[in-house]
Amino acid sequence: MRERHGREWQPEETQALKEAIESGQSIANVALALGRSQRATRIRAIRLGLIPAPEVNTTAPTHGGDPESRKPLPDSRIHPYSGGENADDEGDPLPTGCRQQ
């Protein structure tokens, strides 16, 4: 199926892709017929304007719905020996895995 992997699209392949998409064939079927991956076929069809690009939701939370979870961690939480809850009262690092109570 991937005999064309990494090779440029030839004009006859591009024409076959256009005709197949316009006739209603699925990306999976077209990819199989052309010896291309579904991903490569989909990307080519999008670049040619034959199918719409998928929408990318840039407003969706990536860390759950809590806005607090999207805040950067304070420096003391990034490195275990930089103080904070992983250090004793004088700021000296605690042994790995220990936390001050």
What is d(CA 3, CA 90) in angstroms, rounded to the nearest whole number?
65
CB 50 within 8 A of CB 22: yes
* pLDDT tens for each residue of the chain, 101 residues long: 456 667 899 999 999 999 999 999 999 999 999 999 999 999 999 999 999 998 877 665 555 556 665 566 555 545 555 545 555 555 555 555 555 55
Whether the pTM exceeds 0.85: the reply is no
Q: How many angstroms separate the first and last alpha carbons of the chain?
A: 60
Joined tokens for residue 25? 């064939």
C-alpha of 51 from chain center: 20
